[in-house]
Amino acid sequence: MTPRDDSDANSNRWSDLDRPPLNAVALRRALVRNGGHEGLWRAVDVVQHTGSTNSDLVALATEGKAEEGAILVAEEQDAGRGRLDRRWTAPPRSGLFFSVLLKPTGVPVERWGWLPLLAGVATATALSRAAGVDTALKWPNDLLVTVDGQERKTGGILAERAGPDAVVVGIGINVTLREDELPVPGAGSLILAGATTTDRDTILRAVLRSLGQWYEKWRSVGGDPARSGLQDTYAAGCATLGRVVRAELPGDKSITGEAVAVDGDGRLVLATAEGVQQPVGAGDIVHLRPAGDAGDTGDAGDTGDAGDR
């Protein structure tokens, strides 16, 4: 697939006046620095509809048709994927659904696992500044907001390899999703969290600028999470740390313990009741409620996979 800018081609693009289309020309003008030495972003393509921006950009990268700094945005996608191949859809123009192509040369491959965490830090920082919404991070790839005193998932991140030297990072954010449009009760959106703006152009520019800054900082020190400040910043914004959680692991196994740290490899470290500190590198994390408060908080948001690619 070759992405095309058809943001003006759809005669029904103003069918929901509360959800205007993105301005691809303005986004390019604000973000792209062709031939220059400043800035990461090199191309912005906005399409009306696709299955998955991650799948499309991975295909373009492996075919040699996309370079580092390429951004692919969809106004609507119907085959968005989260972790464990969960599916997720949302009404057209109700959120931001986009993927970027990165080629972290000079960074050891074993540190590439920090990219989704880096994207989480960059996105949370941007949402706080641009939309006035405090956004917490649920390890490893969820964005959480507070709606009516409850923690809800409003976005997600998915990183995928695109050949031997590239990674595609997909980010999705529920922006104007209304209560009756939520895929599951545990999902949320920026508007429900009291955002000061739901202008998607403004929010997208803020997220991409923040992502570019964090990426360049991390890459400049060889992907070292400590020297770049990424490890400490992630820990400071991580809602998972300090809580008792259940890690649901491959093979129908699980571990319950207090999340006490994110280690240098980006793994979540759990302190179990047996006194063992167990690092978890992959799996679903369920935030358990305090004793006496029945149920748990993790699965409701995960089921909808808000924002995953």
Q: Is residue 209 left, alpha or beta, with left meaning phi > 0 and alpha meaning psi from -120 to 50?
A: alpha
Could you report the per-residue pLDDT of 154-201, keeping only the tens digit for each?
999 999 999 999 999 999 999 999 999 998 888 999 999 999 999 999
Could you report the per-residue pLDDT of 209-234, keeping only the tens digit for each?
999 999 999 999 999 999 999 999 99
pLDDT of 8 > 80? The answer is no
Sheet containing 43-47: order of strands:
43-47, 70-74, 95-102, 167-174, 150-161, 142-147, 136-138
How high is the pLDDT of residue 38? 60
pLDDT of 294 > 50? The answer is no
**If you average pLDDT over residues 115-121, what whole number do you get?**
98
Closest alpha carbon to 181 in 304, 74, 83, 22: 304
How high is the pLDDT of residue 246? 97
Res. 84 pLDDT band, cuts 50 70 90: very low
Percentage with pLDDT > 90 across the chain: 78
Taken in order 110, 112, 113, 118, is the CA torsion positive or negative? positive
Res. 266 pLDDT band, cuts 50 70 90: very high
How high is the pLDDT of residue 219? 98
